[in-house]
Structure formats: C-alpha cells, structure tokens
Structure 1
Amino acid sequence: MSILIHESKTIYIGTGRRKTSIARVKLVPGSGKLIINGLPGKSYLQFSPNYLRISCAPLKILGLSKEYDIHVTAEGGGLAGQASAIRLGLARALCRINPENRINLKSEGFLTRDPRVKERKKYGLRKARKAPQYSKR
C-alpha cells in the first residue's frame, strides 16, 4: 500500500519513525504545501525554522520543493522526534516516486532510521543508570 490512485492523482506513501514518534507521509502532486495533522506545517512546528528545515530536507536535496504537497499524520513524542520522523517518511515516499532518488537520499543519510530510544529504568537504580549514593561507613 505504498502507492494509491485517488481522483486521478497518484499518492505516494512513506512511514517514518524516531524515538516514540510515528509519521505517515502522503505525497500528492501540488504546489509544495506542508500539512501536519490538519494544520499548516509552520504553525504545527511552532514556526521553528530548524524543524521546518529538517522535515523538508529530502525535497530540497532533490529540487522538488514546489512540486508536491505533503500531508502528514504525526503522533507520539515531541516536535524534534516528529520532524525527524517526517524526514524519514518523506525520503521513503520519494524513493517510491523514482528509484533513482534513492542514491542521493542515501548519501545524505535520509534513509537511515535513527535507532536511539530512551533506555528503560532498572530496579535498584534511580534512573536507567544512576545508582543510589554509595556510603562506605
């Protein structure tokens, strides 16, 4: 279910994950709008130029910024994790459009999922690794 044809438009789908965030990205031929959870991308990402740059980076690399509308359903985590998840989902969707895009996206590192997640708390410790203070006497 990576490519859908809806109302004579081809929709390309990609899923991205980062930490506890999941982003389902749909690419539709259009004018370059970013819509996240029904809101404009700028307002959803709190007008942060860094988050906007991260999430739209794959389109800029390929020079397709004004050719596709991006519709995203993002959930979980915070804005930084969601922005990185959007970037991965967008890169995966762009690979479905044209397999030759994969070469440029792979060299930039946009197709690599970041596996770092929060480590679980262990019993006998205060946090994942922080131990109670040791007293010799």
Structure 2
Amino acid sequence: MNRETHIIDATGKVLGRLASQIAILLMGKHKKDYDPSKDMGDFVIVKNVDKIKLSGKKLEKEIYYRHSGYIGGLKEIPIKKIFAKKPEFLLKKAVYGMLPKNRLRKKIDKKAKNLNNMSEEKKYWQGVGRRKTAVAVVKIFKEKDPSFLVNEKPLEKYFPLFELQKIAKAPLELLKLENKFKVLALVSGGGLVAQSEAIRLGLARALVAFKEEFRKKLKKDWIFKKRSES
C-alpha cells in the first residue's frame, strides 16, 4: 500500500477543524477505496503548530485535567499554559479523540508521531518565570523590529504603571538589549506586581538560553532574585 506524506501549514487554522482534517488523512477516509476495517491512512506533517487558533474563549477558560490514580492526584492545568509550552500536545490530543475507538486506533495513532511543531518562524529562546501564584512563559526572537507583548497586548497597556514596566523589562535594560529582541510573554495568576516579576525572571532565563554568558551579569545584579527591588 502506498502511503503519501501530507504537509499542512497550521497558521491561522482552528484547532478542532485542523484536527478533523488530520484525522481523515490518518484514517485514509479521503481515499476512494477506503475500508474502515483496515489502516489505509497516510502520514501527516504539520508546520507552525504554535500558530493555531482556539475558537471562542477556550484559551482563557478551558482546563485540562489529569489524574495520577492516587488520592488527591487530580491536576488542573489551564489550556493557556499548555498552549504556550506545547501546542502540539493539544493538537495530538484532539486528533487522537477523533480516531476510531477500536483495535486500529493505536496503529493509526503511530503515524501521528509526525505531528511535529515545525515552525517556520525564526528560532526563539524561551524561559519560564514564577512569582507567588503568577506564572510567565517568555519567548524572545532575534528581530530588527523589537516589540514587547504581554498576553498579546503592548507592555505599556498591560502594565499601566511605569514601575511595573521597568520590572518586567529589567533584564533587557541591564544588558542594553532593548532594541535587539521581540518579546512575547504569556502570564497568568497573581496580581500585576507578581506578574511583572514572573515575566522578569522568565525573560532573564530566556536571555541566558540565548547566551550563557549573560547569567553572570544577571545574577550579579539580582535579576534572579524573587523579590522586587522597588
């Protein structure tokens, strides 16, 4: 049996509809001689998984639950956090739920390993920062047109107070890199002060991931310190 390899660009596509399209290709339902009792599907490679969209307010409200099997082992993880770290996990989960619930499911799902997050964007460096109940996932991109977005809003709009803006971008100012990177931060939980400090720590870790030499300077100036200097 000849199996084709389909390459799909996920940019701007809704998660559910994209998962449905992938499931059809994996099962082989697009073929004229499709037989539900056989694995007739093709392979699928998805590019730019981090650019998929979630309809409605799912990104803000949906919660992913998992249980360890022990008493008190229930874990609740906001979809927003999963999407920031592993968008391909959400896509794989959605596709798996659309596959037939029979003996072929695992066999078909093996081809889903080709669902890779192959981003065509320039390489980015990521860091995660925490402060109290606030968690921030920060990505930095090496670009000519720098910007600083927090939850898809400009830094100045998300943090109206100048002091909080200064805390969030402190690592860039310290290293004199304000005009060198595009910064995308996703933050949730806690108050604005805790969020600004979580972003500061996540940004510092992203910069260290970009260049290990920055660690000594950032550590010396207490950027990795949890409490605010203000």
Scaled to the shorter chain, the TM-score interval is: 0.7 to 0.9
| Residue type of the alignment partner of 2:214 | N
- The structural deviation recorded for 1:15 is 0.3
In 1, are the aligned partners of 2:128 and 2:135 still within 8 Å (CA)? yes
- Tell me, what secondary structure is at the counterpart of 2:201? helix
Which residue, 165, 169, 173 being the options, matches 1:56? 169
Normalised by the size of structure 1, how large is the TM-score?
0.75
- Tell me, what secondary structure is at the counterpart of 1:9? coil
* Counterpart Cα distance in 2 of 1:9 and 1:44: 25
Q: Which runs of 5+ in 1 are unaligned?
A: 115-137
1:20 aligns with 2:133: yes
1:43 aligns with 2:157: yes
Query: Match for residue 86 of structure 1?
Result: 199
* Counterpart Cα distance in 1 of 2:148 and 2:191: 18
1:65 aligns with 2:156: no
| Residue type of the alignment partner of 1:39 | K
In 2, are the aligned partners of 1:5 and 1:11 still within 8 Å (CA)? no
Query: Match for residue 23 of structure 2?
Result: none
Q: Which has the higher helix share?
A: 2
Query: Match for residue 46 of structure 2?
Result: none
- The structural deviation recorded for 1:37 is 0.7
Rg larger for: 2
Residues 13-39 of structure 1: CA deviation (Å, up to 9, x unaligned): 000000110000000112331101111
Question: Against the structure 1 CA distance between its residues 5 and 104, is the aligned structure 2 distance closer, same or farther, given a 3 Å change threshold?
Answer: farther
- The structural deviation recorded for 1:49 is 0.7
Normalised by the size of structure 2, how large is the TM-score?
0.46
Residues 50-100 of structure 1: CA deviation (Å, up to 9, x unaligned): 011100010111111101011010000111000000000000000011111
RCO higher in structure (CA 8 A, sep ≥6): 1
Query: Match for residue 108 of structure 1?
Result: 221
Q: Which has the higher strand share?
A: 1
Question: Against the structure 1 CA distance between its residues 73 and 8, is the aligned structure 2 distance closer, same or farther, given a 3 Å change threshold?
Answer: closer
* Counterpart Cα distance in 1 of 2:226 and 2:206: 14
In 1, are the aligned partners of 2:197 and 2:226 still within 8 Å (CA)? no
* Counterpart Cα distance in 2 of 1:6 and 1:111: 30
What fraction of aligned residue pairs are identical, expressed as a percent?
Answer: 35
* Counterpart Cα distance in 2 of 1:74 and 1:52: 14
